[in-house]
A and B are shown apart, each in its own frame.
Chain A
Amino acid sequence: MADGQVAKRLQSELMNLMMEGVPGVSAFPDGDNYTQWTGTIHGSDVGPYKGMKFQLSLVFPKDYPYSAPTVKFMTGCFHPNVDMSGNICLDILKDKWSATYTVKSILLSIQSLLDEPNNDSPLNNQAASLWSQQEEYKRLVAKKYAEG
């Protein structure tokens, strides 16, 4: 029964996401069921990630939405709160998770995280220290993005 309810919740989230058409973020299940999705985030038009498109994987636990999904970058991303294997450090995905968050709010949070990193708890120290030097930072972002 629990599985059914997770599917139901994700189904309605998908429906909402599709019908609202939130600009800059998108996601869709990528398998034969609802537990694994692929998300897409476009960098905002003003920050260092302008014009870039990042793919993420979202894996939903069996007790979703009572536990947060596991979200990772699949496209290489040079960012203070993203490590080399794509793990993201974002409070709402960890201890600040609430059942009211949705795929849409997660993706929008990550999108805004791109331009407003939390340099106090970096996963990528190099990126954190370079943040103040935007030119160099942008160069490394572009390089990492080009590597895929």
Chain B
Amino acid sequence: MERVWRLCESSTTIWSLPDKQRDWTLSEEINRAGVVERLVLTKALADIALISHEEKLKTLIEEQLPAAIFQVHLSSQSGRNMEKQLTPVLRQLGDQIMSSRGNLEALSTLLGNEAAYVNVFLANHIQAVTEKSLPECTEPILSKILRDRIAADLDGFQEFCAAWKTLGLKASILDIAWESLSKALDREIEERCHNDFEEAALGGLREWLEDHAIPVLQCILSQMEADVNDDLSYWRARLEFQMCYSLSQARIRQLFDIILDFPHSEPVLGDINIGLVQTDLALEVASSLRKQLELRLLHQGAHTADIILQYVHLVKALRHIDPRRVIVEQVCEPIRAYLRTRPDTIRCIVTDVTEYEGELLEVLEDAVQDDDDSVARDETFDAWQPDPADASVRAEDEEDMIEQNDPLARLFDVYGSREAYANEYRKMLGHKLLTSQERGADVEREIWNVEMFKARFGSEAMQDCSVMLKDYADTKRIMAATAKEHSDLNQDLEFIIMSKHFWPETKEQDGELPDPFREDAMLLQKHFEETKAPRKLKWQPDLGIVLVRIEMESGKELSMTVSPNQAALFKCFEKVGKWKVDDLAEELKLSKEDVEKNARRWLQRGLLKEVDEDSLQLVEDFSSDAALAEGLEGATAADDKEDLAVNNTRDEMKVYETFLLGMLTNLGSLPVERIHNMLKMFCQNPPFDKTKEQLVSLLDELVVEEKIQVNGREYSLRTNN
């Protein structure tokens, strides 16, 4: 023992040695020391380390101290007399451990690496020598060990629990275990909830629960004198609930992405489902999803088509977790409301439906099936489940119920009326029938589409489209019949009858059919007027497409798709290389404006050029740069569209103005708010979708044009006296 104390005293001396020599001396001394000396020496070093915050020394202690304690323990088992000697040292050590929390943590870290009973032994001693309460001494150390054990392996855990019991720590071990199990569970969930949504985390977590968490609890419980089975099932239920809850919460946070990924992320939905079944998270799903949608979807940056797609995925995904459609109701309404504000919603929906792989197509198909299997619906009677208490009030009417129950179908109600869709589809169909180059195949597809729409919207709404398709069939028949009579009929020509009033309205351009078609067209017309009397046929040469192949004298060749009138115009240059616009107009029986419009295509393509103010000349040596041509064609298309858009707004404004004047004529003077409301209510075709600010600027324009006057806040007709 004397040596020990000498060592202690000399430790300060050792400390003053140069680095290398010191390390060597220390290790040497420690290795040479006996059990007790070793402990004491280490303790002394710990003192120094504490004072000097020397990292290197701390490492040294961390290596040495556990081994020292372990040896002390072993020798204490062989003869109790050692303990007596150790008491003062341990007391000091214990004090030191308690003296600083940081130190304590360090200690528990390294203690964690040793066999459990060593630690318990230490704790026991610390308690004995420091006379502090046991939980105070042991809790940080033990819970740390516990945590490590739970996270790592369970070797020696049984002994650990046994030691725990001998220490008389009955209640707190469960709490600590529970706390650390919960934390471990959260960690597991976080690790398993990947962003790739390939498989549900639930199965893996269940396994983890069985393999890790339950044995821990079993160990602890078996050391307690309670009824293990009863308690275990209680704790197991508690753990499972916790797992479901946390897992669902984690998944709910990812729900937007899950839906984004939908058909692919389907397995993951089970993770949420389990939470909804066993806990009260339904409301959280709704509110969290609404927030995510608002943040990530319902803003200017998102394309309408994407919003619709996400809506469809949302509804489909929620089918898995929300069969009673309580959440869907709450989440979908904001999207529909938002879609209502987008001008291109209808077009996007209709396009989606009529595309081959459109997501919404299925909805229409479903509608068709629904008609067939109303019996099947009755069979689900047994599977009926009451709505959850938080379900919003439902329509009682059975028919309404079915309607309302299908949120996808309700997408079609975004604009309130289904006519809008029928109308949009009619426009698309018209365009397709006129410009399609593979009409046969397209028409077959469209016939099917029309049937789909009929099933959903009723045949009345789709009447126009049916007529259009019938027109196509009639055209075929007439052409076949004419071809039979006149074998020289040009087979490359295709005509289509457009029954007025049923086809979308078109801007009419006059003009005659280009020469090469005229004769055949006359034959058809004659046949039509004979068989379909009293109907008359009027040609619309500005619609439809002509594929032209142009061969220049210079040997250059070019293929283009143009309108018949454009083709007719260019054909004029076949013989004469230069035309005055006025002469062209006369030749083609078109207005000057129409000639200019038709010529624009050729001008932009570089095949014609303007000369002498009002003349057009053929360009023999045009540039055949395809990329350039494409760009130009794009520009033309955009031009045309713009033209159309401008015309549309102007037409719309004209309608609004008429309504406005009609309103003011009859109702006297009105404030802006009232005018806005009434326009919204009564002006439905085109629907009035302007904001109040836009209305004010329209009103102001009318004031400037002296059509109306403003008096304070109210507008009225201008009185002429």
Hey, which bits of chain A sit against chain B, CB under 8 A? 11, 14-15, 17-19, 21, 26-30, 32, 34, 37-40, 55
Contacts and interface: CB of A to CB of B under 8 A. Distances in A.
B684 A15 contact: yes
A29 B684 contact: no
B655 A18 contact: yes
A92 B272 CA distance: 68
Contacts of B662: 17-18, 26-28
Interface of B: 655, 658-659, 662-663, 665-667, 677-678, 681-682, 684-685
Contact of B682 (A11, A19, A21, A40): A11
A14 B682 contact: yes
Contacts of B658: 18-19, 21
23 contacts: A11-B682, A11-B684, A14-B682, A15-B684, A18-B659, A21-B658, A26-B662, A26-B666, A27-B666, A28-B659, A28-B662, A28-B663, A28-B665, A28-B666, A29-B681, A29-B682, A30-B666, A34-B682, A38-B666, A38-B667, A39-B666, A40-B665, A55-B666
A26 B665 contact: yes
Contacts of A55: 666
- Which 8 pairs across A and B sit closest by C-beta, in order of nearness? A38-B666, A28-B666, A26-B665, A28-B663, A18-B658, A28-B662, A40-B666, A18-B662
Nearest to A17: B662
B217 to A, nearest CB: 64
A38 B681 CA distance: 16
Contacts of B682: 11, 14, 28-29, 34
B537 to A, nearest CB: 28
A26 B685 CA distance: 19
B577 to A, nearest CB: 47
Given A17-B662, A18-B662, A29 B655 contact: no
A4 B223 CA distance: 76
B559 to A, nearest CB: 44
A103 to B, nearest CB: 11
B140 to A, nearest CB: 72
A14 B663 CA distance: 11
Contacts of A39: 666
B630 to A, nearest CB: 41
A26 B660 CA distance: 12
Contacts of A11: 682, 684
A18 B688 CA distance: 14
Contacts of A19: 655, 658
Contacts of B678: 29
Contact of B681 (A18, A26, A32, A40): A32
Contacts of B663: 28
A132 to B, nearest CB: 32
